[in-house]
Structure 1
């Protein structure tokens, strides 16, 4: 076929030919933003959520759109490739490249205008989807597509990828939401594009210049190839593969904006978008259908889809089993009806009754089909239960990534789509293909209403033989999809994983047209080169190939979920970016990212640096790395990621391990000696607490003490109690034997030395509930402060002593109760992973919070109550390790109406908020939830905070209000005889 574009598409010059230092200097001069060519930044952006790794040349974070335009201009002048990046959640490798990465997500995310009546908005490319929907909520509107990465993905990324999600069943792909785009070409053309009628086309041609040339060449290309496009493009709603050349057809309005949607940054940079938005459904209802297997479920899809649901999702028995192993007590899993494959069908309506009626009509009519087995039904009818079910479905990637048994899974063939009416037959053929290649452990789930199937594969990407096997499988899978008239990608895009296989789907002629289309916009091949057009092979740049992490000879933690290897833990992150949350989204992780919006301060960013550290070719100084140290510095060790990350990355543990090795044989920060050794200093201060408090509070001396201890001057030093809790307990009259038996009340450092009144309140509660209270006569510490500062050798010795003292009680079946959540979490999680002894594991089973004891050992205790209201700030470690269900139950039993804040970490986080250099982030964390709640609390509201850190942060709000422990609230509610 004759080419209409004579400019050849060239390949990116090798990295070694780029004068990196000159490039960095020119960018720093021209760009209002952050220009980073350091090893840490390049490491953080070397991967997306795919199997691919390409280390960028450098990273630019522009402060506004014009700064981003300037960055592209500098790269053009130096002939350097460019990659625009949003949330970095791409699963096909389109968001990593040996290029200058422009990260739009930190500063360029404004919603510039909302036309509620016209249902349209103008938004900058870096805006997060959840942020945009949050701003649209008061108008009753939302963006139609909602991929499972909605917490992290950006509008620009969604446009680049033509994103879908479950809601695409009702609202279509992102291309159907795009009205206009403001674009920037590599050679400097900046313009708004959209549907182009003849009059508009003539106007553009009359103006002349490069934009007119682009339009003319695109129109000529369309005219020559329109019949090829009409006949070779699959008739499929979920066709995400390839360029959207069909949007250039006359019947589609010659829509250049929609033609550029889904081009993965290989043609233009998207700066702004005008989008069509949709009304939020006033009510929703979720019906779940159970079938014999996932194939039978797929067969039923057309009948179900005929009822026009908002979403039509599916999952198979393998996915269910994996979820049950990981979350055996998840109530959402109990809501599934009997079966081996399920359809989750969501309906909308103006009222709950209308939505429910639509769901019931569907269930009845599908059940009456004579030609198919009758499914089992479950109608939830409860928004909370429906949300749990939906969150569980969205977490499919994380559930499947690290199965409790079996091989680790990877992306590889994760989102092919076929016509829904052919889905059942396709899945049966696909299952046979998986068995032939020994990949049958893969779960099957996805957006079955549009024929899109997800599932990770147990690939061997480390060895040449394993990679060759994967390559052969991908080719056969592509041929299978094409035989059913499907699309290689129904959601995740082509990137590098699928682009090489596009000829199988489209044929060589259409793929040649893709190359010519790219040449019109990017003749020098500098826009995200190697993706979609002239792609690098699917088995190039694999992050795992021949990569076996440098394992340290010795680690302190055991890493039981990572085969006992720190290197495996350091590569655990799969890159979905759920740690990149906005403050309004709730949850715990990741507090420092919520404040700084900086990739290196997300759990994912820190994980990428640790991965590069154990890889050793970008970050070359191992445990001594200052790049890793600096990225971890603002990690609050909140442990939120341990429970909220889809694959349970535990950055607090990794940070402690890193600090232990980083400072081995070296002088540590002063705060490590002051707050890290707090239990020792507290024991010494107990000899004269009043004198210590007076000296520490003296204006001049206080400033010197803080400076010497590495404590920020904005913080008040905590005051030691005049009498320790253990001393008070020793001199009090012995309690009675108790009708419920004995319980050991363990006195942590914070309760014993700073808040002994909490210990006394706990004794009152436990004895009133019928327990005989025992307090160990010697000072025992869990080692928390040494763990958080990475002094793990000391922490082990301290913890081992405490375990040895408490173990006899645990062996005798006596429960041990802790009052400080962070210390309780040490016994439940850190302790077994540090010591790995039978005694430590037994103590972990026997160690309870006060609320857990009252729920499990005194659930029939119904004391009189004064009722009241409370606002609860849950300690991060409790949220991550123990949970808060028992506390809710106990508070309900006492008649205390409790509002639990869902605003994340308070920002104090043990020693973090006290350390010099951390106050700004600590205070900003508090301002995102806790402090506003304290200021707006009613005078009669109790401020419930079990954690010493949380109570410290409440006091720092400046209102004069103090946080109270659960033990205090319960003790105050006891009715005592006159």
Structure 2
């Protein structure tokens, strides 16, 4: 990759700043981490918005005092500063040519909790879900809950004045903030709260004067609606609002002060909840019904239209929830809280009867927590469903959260729909916090051509006038940033805009705090991530990327920045982020670096980039993002593609030759297994072998079987006795060479269920280890050979049962993308089954013997992401056992990853996150099931007493009446 990128040419080179001197001074002054390297700047170049600006550098403070020291250095060098939370802003608040303070790695502590007064003091980097988890034992929680609750931070929520569905009951973040410890750019540190307490005399006098002079303008210009988030909270300075400096600063988007600590007011967790879903003929009729529902005082009132549900169904999101929706083409979801379930149910039924009587809506009431969670997941899946509608144009934020008076919502939506049609835009969906008049949508703006960008500007300008005509706010949740700040004059008028400028000058006279946002804003069509000169490098690739128009650049630009990969619990994504809390080791951070690699501004070496290589190094290739990411980013595939090109024609790391070629070495080793095992486990020799193979010496190498499964399998010659016909049992490398007993157990189960079991007559391989190490040309050759060997099986449509989840995932996912267009590759993808899938589909009448007891299951990450675990859960439950399927994330070994030198600590940290604590907490008689060879190996290494088994072994033992 050569030449200067188009983005670099179109934007021009900024005057070179003395960044080396700044970085050196920061390093001397700050105990935390200072990063001005290209990789860090690339990882923080954008947020969840349409904008992209390379930061000057990144500081990761260890304490609030560390942040003070960093800002002091920035002040000496006149450097702008941006305080960043979870980086999920949709309006460009986190994009700036500034020194970025990332609070999330270290400053995420709960400092003081007073359950009696229901207050808590926290550092700004703590994520909302993490804080609520700590508060749960006291039956308390933070009131607002944005849809990004897994990753959004308290500091970010304060900066954006966040809301969420619970704002119906608890208000915006401004309603939860009691006091703030803040730092101005000039170095003034203070606790501010109700009244002028904590302010310097100068700040107090300036704010009082500002409030006196602009009081009437504020009262007349600020819309009296529940979801006004646009603009500064000047209304908090009014005497009737109590003159709260803390509340004034909420929603100021890091443009006035840096928040060091926050004191929040908490609310009790509702004792009981009931959810009513009302179905309507269209979204406008649903919106018309909002005032009638509000008369019953729901705790939450959300709306979603039929397009959102169709998109979720087509992308297999929240499918169980969709099946539970009542008839209709738009829905309102009304939650009622109560001290008892009977009380919550009664309130819900009263509303349901009243609304049905006057509107004829269909309805269903849900008070089961699991079903409620499913239905809320349908609402929260909105962004993932609407970003890339199948067969439609990509959609964008930019006008995604306007709010109007709830009683006027139906008429507003009709006028907004007409405006969309006038501009030839079709909204991907209309949904949101209808009870407070806030509407979310993503629109297929053309942000890559001059005409399209001009049309975008014209549309949002007309939209701003429409919202203001309805007495609404340009932003009802996401803030102004760069998307809407330029339009604030339409909403507030000249006088209030002047007041905004004066407020900015009071706190930040040098305009160094996140400049270009809210006051003196950058153009809403400037700094676009794409733009009219967007022309990324389009490299030739091994994978086809069919979901991205067969273009790697689209795959690298797929991430929309909502940061679900930065969650701290639940799901699989992203284990390396959970272990390191590093942005560049999240799925999102890696996607940013790949995007920047193709842009060429700051990552300039293309496939040879060491910054991208280092970011991908800790990717476990678990594929968790393939299923857990709202927009299906597939970092495991991107990593394999990158590694293939990065090491093309170069010497690879030793582990690529040892672990990457393990199918070959395993086949050779089993011919002399006793000798090989003795050598690889001899204390002195083991370390030498590990060092030569790039393996961490703390890892014990797996023992090779004395005889392969394919050598000892005899099968059953009586095909006629098999009531369900033939099946090919795939002898994967790990089952065949390390644990052949699993293969025999599976054959026993299949035979008992009425299948005639066969195995390939020649050595076969799925190429998994070559794929995971990026040796893709070799993997293609191996897969083509495998297809030739399986040709008769494929022609006859015989199911191929694969016991190792990662190998099955190769056939289902990697194979058709590596050999796209090869019909046999697509046939094998379609014929591949797990053991549970085959039994459910071909032998539904067969039930395993009852064994009872309890079983704890660790699903393999690839099983979770590609194959899904529902049928496996049902099969194990059919044994009569009490089955606990862990939601513990990745085991941390992940094939070759956990063996490689330099990965041991991260690998163990992943296991200790949730898996090992769950296994330690089980009762001794509880069986442990883990179908993945990596999972079993990790558990045996770190918790040998757990004795994990493959599900096939459990079932076969039950057939024999034995313990596994």
TM-score interval (norm. to shorter): over 0.9
Q: CA deviation at 1:807?
A: 3.5
Query: Alignment partner of 1:35: what SS?
Result: strand
Q: Tell me the residue number matched to 1:458.
A: 444
- Which string of whole-angstrom CA distances, capped at 9 and with x for unpartnered residues, describes residues 417-467 of structure 1? 000011111111000000000112431000000000000010100111100
Which residue does the alignment assign to 1:352? 341
Offset from partner CA, 1:20-39 (integer Å, 9 cap, x none)? 11111000000111100000
Aligned residue for 2:671, secondary structure, equals: coil
Question: Once the two structures are superposed, what CA deviation does each residue of 1:809-841 show, in whole Å capped at 9, x if it has no partner?
Answer: 132121110100000000011110111111111
Match of 2:3 in 1: none
Match of 1:700 among 678, 684, 697: 684
RMSD: 1.5
Q: Report whether the alignment pairs 1:363 with 2:347.
A: no
Q: Distance in 1 between matches of 2:434 and 2:751?
A: 57
Match of 1:145 in 2: 144
Give 1:178-197 correspondences, 5 Å limit. 178-196=177-195
Cα-to-partner distance string for 1:358-386 (whole Å, 9 max, x where unaligned): 111101011222xxx31111223322121
For 2:610 and 2:177, the matched residues in 1 are separated by: 44
Superposed, which structure 2 residues align to 1:48-87 within 5 Å?
48-87=47-86
Assess if the C-alpha contact under 8 Å between 2:141 and 2:269 holds in 1.
yes
Distance 1:955 1:328, change over 3 A: closer
Match of 1:220 among 186, 201, 209: 209
Structure-1 separation of matches of 2:859 and 2:533? 40
Name the structure 1 match of 2:590.
606
What does residue 478 of structure 1 align with? 464
Q: Note the C-alpha offset of 1:550.
A: 3.4
Residue equivalent to 1:277: 266
| Aligned residues between the structures | 950
Counterparts of 1:733 and 1:704 in 2: how far apart (Å)? 47
Question: What is the CA deviation profile of residues 296-319 of structure 1, one whole-angstrom value per residue up to 9, with x for unaligned ones?
Answer: 111110110111111100011111
Aligned partners of 2:181 and 2:190 also within 8 Å: yes
How far does residue 933 in structure 1 lie from its aligned partner after superposition? 2.4
The 5-angstrom pairing of residues 575-724 of structure 1 reads 575-582=561-568, 585-724=569-708
Whether the aligned pair in 1 keeps the contact of 2:236 and 2:248 (CA below 8 Å) is: yes
Among 915, 937, 949, the residue aligned to 1:964: 949
**1:976 and 1:53 mapped to 2: Cα distance?**
63
In structure 2, what is the equivalent of residue 27 of structure 1? 26
Answer yes or no: is the 8 Å Cα contact 1:415–1:489 preserved in 2: yes
Matched, 1:104 2:103: yes
Shift of 1:294: 0.4
Contact 1:15 1:98 in 2 (8 A): no
Identify the match of residue 574 of structure 1 among 548, 560, 575: 560
What residue is the counterpart of 2:526 in the other structure? 540
Could you state the TM-score of these two structures normalised by the residue count of structure 1?
A: 0.96
Matched residues in 2 for 1:404 and 1:648: separation? 13
Whether the 8 Å contact between 2:127 and 2:151 is mirrored in structure 1 is yes
Partner of 1:926: 911
- Secondary structure of the residue aligned to 2:565 is coil
What's the CA shift string for 1:381-427, capped at 9, x where partnerless?
Answer: 32212101101211201110000111000001000000001111111
Out of 427, 430, 435, the residue aligned to residue 413 of structure 2 is 427
User: Displacement, 1:859?
Assistant: 1.3
Counting only pairs closer than 5 Å after superposition, residues 549-568 of structure 1 correspond to structure 2 as 549-568=535-554
Of residues 846, 862, 868, the one that matches 1:877 is: 862
Q: Partners of 2:375 and 2:395 in 1: how far apart?
A: 23
TM-score under structure 2 length normalisation:
0.97
Residues 124, 271 of structure 1: 8 Å contact kept = yes
Query: Quick check: 1:855–1:889 contact (8 Å CA) kept in 2?
Result: no
2:481 paired with 1:495:
yes
SS at match of 1:687: helix
1: CA distance, partners of 2:548 / 2:184: 45
User: What is the alpha-carbon distance in structure 2 between the residues aligned to residue 680 and residue 736 of structure 1?
Assistant: 36
SS in 1 for 2:179: strand
Q: Distance in 2 between matches of 1:932 and 1:863?
A: 30
Whether the aligned pair in 1 keeps the contact of 2:719 and 2:726 (CA below 8 Å) is no
Q: Does the residue aligned with 2:851 lie in a helix, a strand or coil? A: coil
Q: What's 2:8 paired with?
A: none
Aligned equivalents of 1:150, 1:109: Cα separation in 2: 15
Q: Is the contact made by 1:865 and 1:894 (CA closer than 8 Å) also made in structure 2?
A: yes
Equivalent position to 2:327, from 338, 344, 348: 338
**Structure 1, 421-430 or 436-445: larger mean CA deviation:** 436-445
Alpha carbons 1:168, 1:311 under 8 Å: kept: yes
CA deviation profile, 1:929-951 (whole Å, cap 9, x unmatched): 22222323322111100000000
Moved more, 950-959 or 638-647: 950-959
1:8 aligned residue: none
Cα contact 1:51–1:411 (8 A) shared by 2: yes
Find 2:515's aligned residue among 496, 518, 529: 529
Residue 733 of structure 1: how far off its partner (Å):
7.3
1:319 partnered with 2:308: yes
Shift of 1:732: 8.2
Deviations 1:754-790 (A, max 9, x none): 0000001111111111111001121110000000000
- Are the aligned partners of 2:108 and 2:126 in contact in 1 as well (CA < 8 Å)? yes
Distance 1:975 1:651 in 2: 43
For 1:895, the equivalent position in structure 2 comes to 880
Contact in 1 for aligned 2:539/2:552 (Cα 8 Å):
no
| 1:549–1:568 CA contact under 8 A, matched in 2 | no
CA distance in 2 between counterparts of 1:951 and 1:493 reads: 47
Instruction: Provide the residue aligned with 1:164 in structure 2.
Output: 163
Contact 1:934 1:954 in 2 (8 A): no
Contact 1:281 1:348 in 2 (8 A): yes
Whether the 8 Å contact between 1:719 and 1:754 is mirrored in structure 2 is yes
Q: Output the CA distance in 2 between the equivalents of 1:298 and 1:796.
A: 54
Q: Which residue of 1 aligns with 2:5?
A: none
Q: Contact between 2:716 and 2:757, CA under 8 Å: does it hold in 1?
A: no
Query: Following TM superposition, by how much is the alpha carbon of 1:552 offset from its aligned partner in structure 2, in angstroms?
Result: 4.1
1:442 match: secondary structure: coil
Q: Distance in 1 between matches of 2:625 and 2:679?
A: 40
* In the alignment, structure 1 residue 268 sits paired with structure 2 residue 257: yes
Matched, 1:740 2:724: yes
Q: 1:943 aligns with which of 907, 925, 928?
A: 928
Comparing 467-476 and 435-444, the one that deviates more: 435-444
SS in 2 for 1:122: strand
Tell me, in whole angstroms, the C-alpha distance in 1 between the residues paired with 2:226 and 2:320. Answer: 34
Q: Deviations over 1:196-220 (max 9, x none)?
A: 16xx58xx6xxxxxx2111111111
Paired residues of 1:549 and 1:567 also in contact (CA < 8 A): no
TM-superposed CA distance for 1:735, in Å, is: 7.4
Matched, 1:729 2:718: no
2:750 — aligned with what? 766
The CA distance in 1 between the partners of 2:459 and 2:690, in whole Å, is 62
CA distance in 1, matches of 2:571, 2:262: 30
The question of whether the paired residues in 2 share the 8 Å contact of 1:243 and 1:514 is answered with yes
Quick one: distance in 2 between partners of 1:613 and 1:591?
Answer: 24
Of the structure 1 ranges 327-336 and 76-85, higher mean CA displacement relative to structure 2 is found in: 327-336
Deviations 1:26-58 (A, max 9, x none): 000001111000000000000000000010000
Q: Partners of 1:734 and 1:949 in 2: how far apart?
A: 35
User: CA offset at residue 804 of structure 1?
Assistant: 2.2
The residue matched to 2:946 in structure 1 has which SS? coil
Of 895, 913, 920, the residue aligned with 1:910 is 895
Residue 960 of structure 1: CA displacement? 3.0
739-748 vs 525-534, which moves further: 739-748
Q: Distance in 1 between matches of 2:849 and 2:893?
A: 35
Deviation string, structure 1 residues 138-192 (Cα, Å, up to 9, x no partner): 0000000000011111001000100000000000000000110000000000000
Q: Which residue of 2 aligns with 1:286?
A: 275
Q: Secondary structure at 1:507's aligned position in 2?
A: helix
For structure 1, the 5+ residue unaligned runs are 1-12, 205-210
Query: Shift of residue 713 of structure 1?
Result: 0.5
